[in-house]
Amino acid sequence: MSDHSPVETLVEMRHIEKSYGRVHALRDVNLTIRKGEIVGLLGDNGAGKSTLIKVLSGAVPYSSGEIRIKGRPVAMTSTNDAIAAGIETIYQDSALVPQLSIARNLFLGRELTTGRLGRLDLDRMNEVAAELLKRVGISKNIPPTTPIGSLSGGERQAVAIARAMYFDSDLIILDEPTNNLGVAETQGVLRFVREARDTGHSCIFIAHNIHHVFQVVDRMVVMRRGTVVADDLSPKTSSIQDVEDVITGDHIHV
C-alpha cells in the first residue's frame, strides 16, 4: 500500500477506531482508496461497513485515528468537511428529500441563487437539472420539477449519482444502492457507477449481492467484526466462492 505516491492516493484512513458505547464497531481499520478506482466494500451484517463510510463522510465521529485526503489530514468532524474534501455519500434511504423536486434535490445545500437575499434561481436550477437528467439517460418526459417521491427506486439512485457527478466529487460512496431494485434498475445503477469511474471519479460500493459487486469493482475490501480482513481481492483473480469464504471467515480453517 505504502508504495503508492500521495498523488495517486485519494483517501487514506489510518488506525481508525470507533465505539458506540460498548460496541466496538471499528478496530484499527486501515483503508486506502486510489484515484479512479471502484472499491467494493464487503462484509456480513454488522461488520462495520456503514460505520466506516459514515466516519469517512463526517456523519459520525470516530474515537481515534487519522484521515488524509490527497495527502492532507482532514478532521472530518462534520458532513461539510467531507463535502469540502470532495466526498459525496449516497445513503440508501437518506440521499434525497421525497417532497422536493428533482432540481431542488440536486442542488440541496448548494442552491443556485440570485442577489443577496438567498433568492433561488429556479430557472437555472431546472435548466441544469434537465441537462443532467438527459446526460444520465432519464430525461424523457420527466420534468426537473417532478417530486422525487414519484420516481422509482432506480431513478432516485440515478438522480443521486448524477448529483455526485455534477458536483465533480472525487469520491462517490454508495451504501447498498442496489437494495430493493429490479434487475433492469440494478443494471442502470451499475452503469452509472462505471460511468462515474470513466469520468475520473473514485467509488466505494457497498452491496449485499456479491454478483453486483463483481460486475463493477476493481478491488474488494472485506470487513469482519470491525476489522479489515482483506483489502486487495480482485474480481479477476478471486472467485465469488473465495470472497464469500473471506467474508464468513471460513478460509481460515481451510
Ligand X SMILES: Nc1ncnc2c1ncn2[C@@H]1O[C@H](COP(=O)(O)OP(=O)(O)O)[C@@H](O)[C@H]1O
Cα distance between residue 132 and residue 209, in whole Å = 29
Residue 22 as a binder of ligand X (CB under 6 A): the answer is: no
Considering Cα of 132, then 121, then 141, then 178, what sign does the dihedral take?
A: positive
Q: CB neighbours (10 Å) of residue 153? A: 17
Which residue type is seen at 3? Answer: D
Q: How far is the CB of 185 from other proteins (least distance, A)?
A: 5
Cα distance between residue 189 and residue 39, in whole Å = 15
Residue 168, helix vs strand vs coil? coil
C-alpha cell, 97: 428529500
Residue 59 as a binder of other proteins (CB under 8 A): the answer is: yes
Residue 134, helix vs strand vs coil? helix
Q: Output 50 or 105, the one with its CB closest to Mg ion.
A: 50
Subset of 171-190 contacting other proteins (CB under 8 A): 184-189
Subset of 88-117 contacting other proteins (CB under 8 A): 89, 91, 93-100, 104, 108-111, 113, 117
188: partner contacted, choices other proteins, ligand X, Mg ion, none (Cβ within 5-8 A by kind) = other proteins
- From 24-32, 42-50, 158-166, 241-249, span contacting Mg ion (CB under 5 A): 42-50
Subset of 30-89 contacting ligand X (CB under 6 A): 43, 45-51
Residues forming beta bridges with residue 18, ordered by sequence position: 26
Q: Output 110 or 208, the one with its CB closest to other proteins.
A: 110
Tell the burial category of 225 from Cβ atoms under 10 Å away from its Cβ (0-12, 13-18, 19+).
Answer: middle
Q: Which residues bind other proteins (CB under 8 A)?
A: 57, 59, 78-80, 83, 89, 91, 93-100, 104, 108-111, 113, 117-120, 122, 137-142, 146, 150-152, 154-155, 158, 184-189, 191
